[in-house]
Amino acid sequence: MIEDRIAKKSIELGSEKISRLMWKYFVPAFVGVIMNATYNIVDRIFIGQGVGSLALSGLSVVFPIMLIVMAFGMLIGMGSGVQVSINMGRKDFSRAEKVLGNGVVLMVTVGLLVTFLGFAIKGPILQIFGATDETIRYSQEYLNIILIGVVFQMVGFGLNNVIRAEGNARIAMLSMLLSGGINLVLDPLFIFVFGMGVKGAAIATVIAQMALVVWVLSHFTSHRAVIRLRMPNIRPDWKIIGLILTIGMAPFFMQLGSSVVMGLFMNQLIRHGGDLAVGALGIIASVSQMLVMSMVAINMASQPIVGFNFGARNFARVKQTVKLGILSATGIGLIGWLLVQIFPHFIVRLFNSSDTVLFELADKGLRIFLLALPVVGFQVIASNFFQSIGKAKMATFLSLLRQLIILVPALLILPGLYGLKGVWLCSPVSDILSFVVTAFFLTWQIRKLDREDPDKITRGKPHPGPDDEATTQAVETFQVVVPD
């Protein structure tokens, strides 16, 4: 019965031990984001080993464009997910289902618009992002196919965020295992067996995304879902759409900023290191993505806990979740930093072992680029904390701070002073400066929660804590408002 599932999620999110709950949500989130990251990383490994260095550089040029596509997906998917979590915390499940329905409409509409726009401007935008006469053929082959699958990517990844937000972390993990596994199997088949090269990698990716769409849609129309996808809820509600877009602006601008910055990186690398330096950035970006996405998995695990308890005004659990998230993400950053600094040769050889120039560029750049990795986890968790509690403007500012506001001036100044080394140095400089600013605003917001904590002040009737009879009362409220 849906009432039983909702009651169970209420008790779990509102009263279960935070560390146990975080671990329960982290494992499937981690598996999910790592499988998600394999879409681009596996493509680069197989292309680098099976087609060549220039093909790897051509694929790297497409990466900023894929970040733009992902930005639109996160705009809707994460915006919908946060709204679902907050409304579940407020016991308004009817509205949570309206958020889901409106989110699907947005995903399809925006996906089609991005596809048409992408085909219209793909030539100029590839050149802006660093494609040269030697690499643009590979870039075009890959991008033409990827653009066809944009709608599938939007719906698949967007709805998977909502699955996680409703508390079904295990199903969200299985979603990514399914799609990532299909891509992993089809990539070598199309590239090596069928000899399709770059086109084969793109086709494998789109097929995997189509399979993901079938899976997530079947979930939201089945008994497994806490909230259901119902036809009446796909009717546009402009207030809900506005809230989805407002909350989703933070990850949207973060990804969009990443794309702009990646384009600047490409151009500076072409100027100071040539086409192979762009290929080296492709390798470095893959390693960085894998490590940062591991931190993002911590954020994904904490988001439904923070969103639910903020909506329920259980601020003590909100603060405990954020603290544990920061410590965990920082630990991942420290481990990743040690691996990069000690074993860079082994990591680079996974992508290309035949081109010695590419190897040297990537080996040296990897160590410098990720020099400040231990503080990145704090930045990820802290900025997304503001998103989880509905503070969209602050979340957007903190996301742009690291990805754009500091990094762009650094890219315009440091390469002129230190050449290629200056390009690699831009990332750690941005990480350290944004860490300092983010720490200030997080401290300010936590103190504000302390002042507003209903367990410390009187607002009409005293607000009971999450570990007493309030949980039982919340369950009863849940069962009253459950939609038919």
What's the one-letter identity of residue 339? L
Tokens found for residue 193: 């067996």
**What count of other Cβ atoms lies within 10 Å of the Cβ of residue 373?**
26
Percent helix, percent strand, percent coil in the chain, to nearest 5: 85, 0, 15
Chain center to CA of 290: 11
For position 435, what pLDDT does the model report? 93
Asked if residue 223 belongs to a domain, the reply is: yes
Instruction: Tell the residue number behind the tokens 């481990």, with chain if given.
Output: 335
How many Å apart are CA 437 and CA 104, to the nearest integer?
A: 36
Question: Which runs of consecutive H residues, i.e. helices, occur in 90-196?
Answer: 93-128, 136-148, 150-165, 169-188
- Cβ atoms of 439 and 382 within 8 Å: the answer is yes
Asked if residue 481 belongs to a domain, the reply is: no
Asked if residue 479 belongs to a domain, the reply is: no
Asked if residue 480 belongs to a domain, the reply is: no
For position 480, what pLDDT does the model report? 30
Put simply, whether the predicted model's pTM sits higher than 0.75 gets the answer no
Residue (of 371, 395, 392) closest to 383 by Cα position: 395
- What does each C-alpha distance from 258 to 200, 400, 404 come to in angstroms? 26, 9, 7
- Cβ atoms of 5 and 478 within 8 Å: the answer is no
Asked if residue 362 belongs to a domain, the reply is: yes
For position 411, what pLDDT does the model report? 92
Task: For CA atoms 432, 433, 439, 442, give the dihedral sign.
Answer: negative
Phi/psi region, residue 459 (left: phi>0; alpha: psi -120 to 50; beta: rest), is: beta
Three-class SS of residue 273? coil
How many Å apart are CA 32 and CA 368, to the nearest integer?
A: 28
Three-class SS of residue 406? coil
Tokens found for residue 304: 């439904």
Instruction: Tell the residue number behind the tokens 């989110």, with chain if given.
Output: 103
For helices 238-272 and 420-452, angle between their N-to-C axes, nearest 10 degrees: 150
R_g of the chain, CA atoms, integer Å: 22
How many Å apart are CA 37 and CA 56, to the nearest integer?
A: 17
Tokens found for residue 440: 């200030």
Q: How far apart are the first and last CA of the chain?
A: 11
**What count of other Cβ atoms lies within 10 Å of the Cβ of residue 108?**
16
Number of domains in the chain: 1
Give the structural domain span for 114: 2-474
- What does each C-alpha distance from 394 to 217, 231, 304, 399, 427 come to in angstroms? 33, 35, 19, 9, 22
For position 116, what pLDDT does the model report? 94
- Each residue's pLDDT, cut to its tens digit, for the chain (484 residues) gives 455 555 565 566 766 788 888 888 888 778 767 776 666 677 777 887 767 777 877 777 887 788 788 888 888 888 888 888 888 877 788 888 898 999 999 999 999 999 999 999 888 888 887 777 888 888 898 899 999 999 999 999 889 888 878 878 788 888 888 888 898 899 889 988 888 888 898 899 899 999 999 999 999 988 878 888 888 888 888 888 988 888 788 678 767 777 778 788 888 888 888 878 888 888 888 888 788 888 888 887 887 788 778 777 788 888 888 889 999 999 999 999 999 999 888 888 877 667 788 888 888 999 999 999 999 989 888 887 887 777 778 887 887 888 788 989 999 999 999 999 999 999 999 999 999 999 999 888 888 877 766 555 444 444 444 344 333 333 333 333 333 2
What's the one-letter identity of residue 70? M
Count CA atoms closer than 13 A to 390's CA, side-chain side.
Answer: 13
For position 460, what pLDDT does the model report? 40
Instruction: Tell the residue number behind the tokens 């492709």, with chain if given.
Output: 282
For position 414, what pLDDT does the model report? 94
